[in-house]
Amino acid sequence: MRRLLVGVCAGLAAGFVMNQFSRAITGLTGGREGDAAAPGTNRVGRGAQPPQATAEAEQDAAVRVGTSAYEAVTGTRPPPSQELRLGTAAHYALSASLGVVYALMEERRPSMRAGRGALYGAVVWVVADEGVVPALGLSRGPRELGPGVLLYGLAAHIVYGLSLEFAYARLKTESAL
């Protein structure tokens, strides 16, 4: 049980660092993470999804998942003022879940920690961001995105993986797993 809690905490910390990376890049680029980035102004707090949105950045995959979860639980559509918060919650839920996967797998597959977590971040990017999410129609696929957006997404996920490993290793040591 302790390993799961460490994974959740490390995943949340890594999701936060990924959001700070996204905030920094968005600030440096004036909100255009790369060629073919989705238009829109509210681009932070939801990982690397906003530039990959099928329409406006404010309706990225995280917002769409958060909104759908809200509708499934309440049976009603959320107020528009809450949609971005729901997207942030969805981003952190995925970050925590991926932290748990990391915690459960690292003991059986130590190679997963290669590159101090960078490999895991890159695999998450390939499988989730460029595979599952577009296949579900929640974002544009890699062939619809410019190289700048792809590089931005990969970099954001490598930052996630590095941060996850850093937090996981520290928390694991602190909790004596």
Give me the residue spans of the domains in the chain: 2-57+89-175
At 173 the pLDDT is: 86
Which of 152, 143, 135, 122 minimizes the C-alpha distance to 57?
A: 152
At 111 the pLDDT is: 82
Q: Is the pLDDT of residue 174 over 70?
A: yes
At 171 the pLDDT is: 94
Residue 35: CB partners within 8 Å, gap ≥ 6? 146, 147, 148, 149
